[in-house]
Amino acid sequence: MYRLQKLLSKVGICSRRSAEKLIESGFIKINGSIAKIGDKWKNGDVLSIKGKDIDVEDLLHQSIEVIKYHKPLGEIVSRADPHNSRTVFNNLPDVDGKWINIGRLDVQTTGLILFTNDGDLANKLMHPSYLFKREYIVKTDKALTKKDMNHLLGGVPINNGDIGKFESIDELENNSYSIVLASGKNREIRNSLSFLKIKTLKLHRTRYSFIELEDMKEGEYRYLTNEDISNFSI
């Protein structure tokens, strides 16, 4: 037996938040009756979304798959955008259920992004309490001073009262830096640097937790092994 929000997230139909909106809008029915927040689904129940029956039992027994993908410049992490037809989902393989992106990279950011068909795993990998580290290479329009680095390591205001805070900063060459974050706030690196009047020229993610981009080419995907997936089971 599953609460509807958890069920829809688990099988990869939508996030729990989106599920709540669908329920509140009256688009979800269980056994022909309009569902309410707090309702549960059990084996044998007929679930329909916007008039279409969903084979939930089959989706619940699908194998968990995770892939890593090298996102090129200019692709969006969205299934549809009227202003940009280049979406990462066009390059992904078929999967039982639906691919769920683990966080996002903005259209100007390249590099590693993970996808899974399991909503519970997706929620875990995105939840801030687990502090999965993300590593990036950033190129700026000018060198970071020691004072700049101290500000970024201590935390600067971004996103209407939120705080952008870098876990570590390692200087490379030509105004490039290796930066590690322990959170996934929206445009955290770009907005943190912008607060200090520093412009981000290039941003590239190379690692998410223990998964690295390695030698993957742009637009390439690779499946994670069962051992890799089990290592995320905290």
| Residues marked as catalytic | 106
AA identity, residue 155: G
Residue 66 and residue 23: Cα distance in Å, rounded? Answer: 28
Q: Which residues contact 86 (CB under 8 A, 6 or more apart)?
A: 74, 75, 76
3-state helix, strand, coil in the chain (%, to 5): 25, 30, 45
Give the three-class secondary structure for 162: strand
Length in residues, the chain: 234
- For tokens 């009262």, the residue is 161
